[in-house]
C-alpha cells in the first residue's frame, strides 16, 4: 500500500473533528448556565453542576436504573441461552439438527418492526405488559447470538471436551464447567453488543410500558424533548449525558473487543 | 467405546441437546414465529384491540391499496433509503480506504474519532442534534451565520427535515460500517497491491481492480443490512419530528405505529406491516440477485 498523503490525512482529521463535535457540544453545554447553553464559546468560571442536580430531581435517575436492570438481565440470560443452543448445534448429535438450525436462522429474516404489533399482543396476553418481564423476556430471544456461538464452537478445540468426557463429566458438565469459561473471546463482544442494543432500545419499551415507574432512559429522554413545552436544554443535555455514560464507558474500556465484535458480525 | 455405551450416549446426547435448545425453541416460537403468523391473521380482521375481532377477509388490504397517506409514507421511506444507503455505503467505504493507508497511533486515533458517535444511542443522538439544529440560535446556524450563509430551519422545514434526520443517522452509523470495511480491507494481502504497482497501477486503479472486488461480500452484507435497516427507521424520527412538519418525515414504520398504538386500528396496522415486510423482503432478494450475478 502506498504512503498516506498529507492532503488525505488532513481531510480525515477535519471530518473526524466534525464527527466528534456534536459530542463535544453535548458534554460542554450540559455544564453551562441555561442562558449560555447555545453559546459556542466557553467561559470556565460560569460552568456549573446545577443541571445535573436538576436532573437528579426528576425521574431520569430511576429510568437509568430501569435501563440498567433490563439491559443487564437480558444480556446475562441471552448469553446463557444462546451459548447453550450454539453449543448443541455445533457439537452435539441429535435428530432434526439441521432443520432446527435452519428454522432458527430463518427467524433472522423477520424484522422487529414487522412483528411489533402482534408481539405486543402476545406479550400482553401472557400478562407481561407494563412489567419488567415484558421489557425483558421478549428481548432475550434472537438467532443472532445462537449463530455466532455456533460458529465459535465449531472451531473450538475438541480434545479438551474429549478429555473431560473421559474423566466422567457429563455433556452438560463439560459445557458449563469447561467450555463456557473458555468462551471469553466470544462472550465479551456479545456482552457489549447485547448490552448496547438493549440500552439503546426505544421502540419496544415505548410500546410495552405505560407506567412512569417502568420508563427506561430512552423513553424518559424522548418525553422531555417531546413534551410540547419550551425545551430546558441545559437540563436535557445533562440528562442525555448521564444516559450516554454506560455505553461510553463500554466503548472506552472495551474498544478492542468492540472492534473484534464488529469484525465478527460483519464478515461471515 | 462399547456398542451399548454408545447408544446410551446417543440418547443422553440428544436429551442434553434438546435441553440446551429448549429455551430458545420456546422463546423464538413465542416471541418471533407466532407473532409473524399472528400478524397475518390479525390483518384479516377489524380490531381495535379492545372489542372482539371481526373477520373481514382482505378488506384491510383493499383499504391500504387506496390509502394515499400510506403510499406517501412508503414513498418517503424509499426516498430515505435512496439517499441514506448510497451515502452510508460510499462514505464508509471512502473513509475505510483512506484510514487503511494510515499506520499505528494515527490510525487508531482516526478510527476512534469516526467510531465515537456509535457509542451514542439513537434517542440521545436525536436530542443532541435537535439542540444543534435549533433554528433560532443552534450551533449550526451560528456557524452558518459566521461564514455568511443564511440560517436554516432544519427540522422545522418540510424541505429540510428528512435530510436533517438522514444526517443524524449517517453520523451514528458511519463509523461502524467503516470498521466493517476496514476489517475486510485489512484481510487483503499486501502482495496484491505490490504486484499491481509493478504493473503500473495507480491508487485509484488498484482500488478498482483489487480492493473493490475483494470486499464484495462485505459490500453485499452492508448494502442489505442498511437497506433493511433504513426501511425500519423510527427512533430518531419519532423523537425529532414525530413525522412532521406537515407529514414530511412520516415514514412507513411511523405510520404503522400510529395506526396501531394511536388509532388502535390493529387489524389495519397489521396489514400494513405485512406489506412492509414483503417490500423489505423483495428488496433484499433483488439486492442478492444483482450481486450474485456479478460472479
pLDDT (0 to 100) of residue B9: 63
Partner-chain residue, chosen from B36, B128, B142, that has the shortest CB–CB distance to A40 = B142
**Residue A127, SS3 per DSSP:** coil
- Environment class of residue B11 by beta-carbon count within 10 Å: exposed (0-12), middle (13-18) or buried (19+)? exposed
Determine which of A132-136, A227-231, B78-82, B242-246 has the lowest per-residue pLDDT on average.
Answer: A227-231
Instruction: Kindly determine whether residue B130 and residue A100, on different chains, have CB atoms separated by under 8 Å.
Output: no
Q: In chain B, positions 113-172, which contact chain A (CB-CB < 8 Å)?
A: 113-132, 134, 137-139, 142-143, 171
pLDDT (0 to 100) of residue A4: 63
DSSP string, chain B: --HHHHHHHHHHHHHHHHHHHHHHHHHHIIIIIHHHHHHHHHHTEE--SSSPPEE-TTHHHHHHHT-HHHHHHHHHHHHHHHHHHHHHHHHHHHHHHHHHT--HHHHHHHHHHHHGGGGS-HHHHHHHHHHHT-TTT-HHHHHHHHTTPPP--GGGSTTTHHHHHHHHHHHHHHHHHHHHHHHHHHTS-HHHHHHHHHTT--HHHHIIIIIHHHTHHHHHHHHHHHHHHHTT--HHHHHHTTT-STTTT--HHHHHHIIIIIS--HHHHHHHHHHHHHHHHHHHHHHHHHHHHT-
Query: Is residue A3 scored above 70 in pLDDT?
Result: no
Query: Is residue B2 scored above 60 in pLDDT?
Result: no
Query: What is the four-CA torsion angle of B185, B188, B194, B198, rounded to 10 degrees?
Result: -90
Quote the Cα angle for B4-B7-B12, to 5°.
125
pLDDT band at A266 (very low <50, low <70, confident <90, very high): low
Nearest CA among B203, B208, B173, B179 for reference residue B85? B173
Per-residue pLDDT tens for B128-148? 999 999 988 899 999 999 999
pLDDT (0 to 100) of residue B1: 46
> At residue A131, what are phi and psi to the nearest 5 degrees?
-150, 165
Nearest CA among A87, A202, A165, A155 for reference residue B23? A87
Is B44 an interface residue toward A (CB < 8 Å)?
Answer: no
Average pLDDT score over chain B: 91
Locus of grid cell 496484491:
B192
- Environment class of residue A20 by beta-carbon count within 10 Å: exposed (0-12), middle (13-18) or buried (19+)? middle
CA atoms within 13 A on the CB side of A167: 12
pLDDT (0 to 100) of residue A5: 78
Is A169 an interface residue toward B (CB < 8 Å)?
Answer: no
pLDDT (0 to 100) of residue B50: 84
Is A42 an interface residue toward B (CB < 8 Å)?
Answer: no
Query: Is residue A159 scored above 90 in pLDDT?
Result: no
Instruction: Kindly determine whether residue B171 and residue A100, on different chains, have CB atoms separated by under 8 Å.
Output: no
Question: How far, in Å, CA of A167 to CA of A184, rounded?
Answer: 24
Is B195 an interface residue toward A (CB < 8 Å)?
Answer: no
pLDDT (0 to 100) of residue B204: 83
Locus of grid cell 462485505:
B218
Task: Tell me how far the alpha carbon of residue A98 is from its chain's centroid.
Answer: 30
Per-residue pLDDT tens for A91-119? 999 999 999 999 999 998 898 988 999 99
Partner-chain residue, chosen from A2, A171, A251, that has the shortest CB–CB distance to B13 = A171
Per-residue pLDDT tens for A11-39? 999 999 999 999 999 999 999 988 888 88
ipTM for the assembly? 0.90
Is B288 an interface residue toward A (CB < 8 Å)?
Answer: no
pLDDT band at B8 (very low <50, low <70, confident <90, very high): low
pLDDT (0 to 100) of residue B293: 72
Average pLDDT score over chain A: 90
- Environment class of residue B97 by beta-carbon count within 10 Å: exposed (0-12), middle (13-18) or buried (19+)? buried
Question: How far, in Å, CA of B32 to CA of A118, rounded?
Answer: 9
pLDDT (0 to 100) of residue A227: 63
Per-residue pLDDT tens for B19-31? 999 999 999 999 9
Is B61 an interface residue toward A (CB < 8 Å)?
Answer: no
Q: What is the mean pLDDT of residues B210-236?
A: 91
pLDDT (0 to 100) of residue B7: 64
pLDDT band at B114 (very low <50, low <70, confident <90, very high): very high
The partner residues of B45 in beta bridges, in order of sequence, read B55
Question: How far, in Å, CA of B207 to CA of B175, rounded?
Answer: 20
Partner-chain residue, chosen from B25, B180, B253, that has the shortest CB–CB distance to A262 = B180
pLDDT (0 to 100) of residue A137: 97
Q: What is the mean pLDDT of residues B283-287?
A: 88
Amino acid at each position: 500500500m502506498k504512503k498516506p498523503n498529507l492532503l488525505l490525512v488532513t481531510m480525515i482529521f477535519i471530518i473526524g473533528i466534525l464527527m466528534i463535535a456534536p459530542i463535544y457540544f453535548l458534554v460542554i453545554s450540559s455544564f453551562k448556565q441555561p442562558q449560555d447553553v447555545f453559546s459556542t464559546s466557553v467561559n470556565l468560571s460560569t460552568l456549573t453542576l446545577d443541571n445535573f442536580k436538576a436532573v437528579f430531581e426528576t425521574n431520569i435517575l430511576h429510568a437509568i436504573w430501569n435501563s440498567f436492570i433490563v439491559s443487564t438481565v437480558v444480556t446475562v440470560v441471552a448469553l446463557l441461552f444462546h451459548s447453550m443452543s450454539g453449543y448443541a448445534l455445533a457439537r452435539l448429535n441429535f435428530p432434526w439438527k439441521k432443520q432446527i438450525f435452519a428454522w432458527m436462522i430463518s427467524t433472522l429474516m423477520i424484522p422487529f418492526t414487522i412483528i411489533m404489533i402482534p408481539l405486543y399482543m402476545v406479550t400482553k396476553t401472557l400478562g407481561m405488559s407494563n412489567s419488567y418481564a415484558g421489557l425483558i423476556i421478549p428481548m432475550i430471544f434472537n438467532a443472532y447470538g445462537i449463530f455466532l456461538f455456533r460458529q465459535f464452537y465449531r472451531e473450538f478445540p475438541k480434545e479438551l471436551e474429549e478429555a473431560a468426557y473421559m474423566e466422567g463429566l457429563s455433556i452438560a458438565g463439560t459445557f458449563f464447567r469447561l467450555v463456557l469459561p473458555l468462551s471469553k473471546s466470544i462472550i465479551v463482544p456479545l456482552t457489549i453488543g447485547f448490552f448496547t442494543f438493549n440500552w439503546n432500545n426505544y421502540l419496544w419499551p415505548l410500546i410495552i410500558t405505560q407506567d412512569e415507574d417502568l420508563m427506561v432512559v430512552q423513553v424518559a429522554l424522548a418525553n422531555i424533548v417531546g413534551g410540547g413545552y419550551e425545551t430546558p436544554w441545559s437540563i436535557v443535555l445533562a440528562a442525555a449525558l448521564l444516559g450516554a455514560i454506560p455505553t461510553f464507558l463500554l466503548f472506552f474500556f472495551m474498544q478492542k473487543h468492540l472492534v473484534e465484535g464488529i469484525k465478527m458480525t460483519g464478515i461471515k | 467405546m462399547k456398542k451399548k455405551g454408545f447408544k446410551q450416549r446417543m440418547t443422553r446426547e440428544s436429551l442434553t441437546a434438546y435441553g440446551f435448545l429448549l429455551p430458545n425453541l420456546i422463546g423464538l416460537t413465542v416471541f418471533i414465529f407466532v407473532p409473524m403468523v399472528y400478524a397475518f391473521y390479525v390483518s384479516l380482521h377489524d380490531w381495535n384491540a379492545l372489542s372482539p375481532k371481526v373477520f373481514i377477509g382482505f378488506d384491510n388490504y383493499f383499504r391500504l391499496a387506496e390509502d394515499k397517506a400510506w403510499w406517501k409514507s412508503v414513498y418517503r421511506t424509499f426516498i430515505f433509503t435512496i439517499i441514506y444507503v448510497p451515502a452510508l455505503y460510499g462514505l464508509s467505504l471512502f473513509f475505510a480506504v483512506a484510514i487503511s493507508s494510515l499506520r499505528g497511533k494515527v490510525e487508531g486515533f482516526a478510527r476512534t474519532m469516526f467510531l465515537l458517535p456509535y457509542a451514542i444511542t439513537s434517542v440521545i443522538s436525536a436530542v443532541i442534534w435537535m439542540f444543534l439544529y435549533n433554528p433560532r440560535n443552534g450551533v449550526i446556524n451560528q456557524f452558518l451565520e459566521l461564514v455568511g450563509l443564511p440560517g436554516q430551519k432544519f427540522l422545522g422545514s418540510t424541505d429540510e427535515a428528512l435530510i436533517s434526520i438522514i444526517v443524524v443517522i449517517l453520523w451514528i452509523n458511519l463509523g461502524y460500517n467503516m470498521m466493517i470495511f476496514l476489517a475486510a480491507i485489512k484481510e487483503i494481502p499486501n502482495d496484491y497491491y505490490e504486484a499491481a504497482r509493478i504493473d503500473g497501477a495507480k491508487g485509484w486503479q488498484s482500488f478498482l481492480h483489487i480492493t473493490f472486488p475483494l470486499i464484495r461480500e462485505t459490500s453485499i452484507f452492508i448494502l442489505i443490512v442498511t437497506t433493511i435497516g433504513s426501511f425500519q427507521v423510527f427512533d430518531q424520527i419519532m423523537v425529532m419530528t414525530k413525522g412532521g412538519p406537515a407529514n414530511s418525515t412520516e415514514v412507513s414504520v411511523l405510520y404503522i405505529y400510529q395506526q396501531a398504538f394511536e388509532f388502535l386500528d390493529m387489524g389495519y396496522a397489521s396489514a400494513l406491516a405485512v406489506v412492509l415486510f414483503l417490500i423489505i423482503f423483495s428488496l433484499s432478494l433483488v439486492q442478492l440477485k444483482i450481486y450474485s450475478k456479478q460472479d
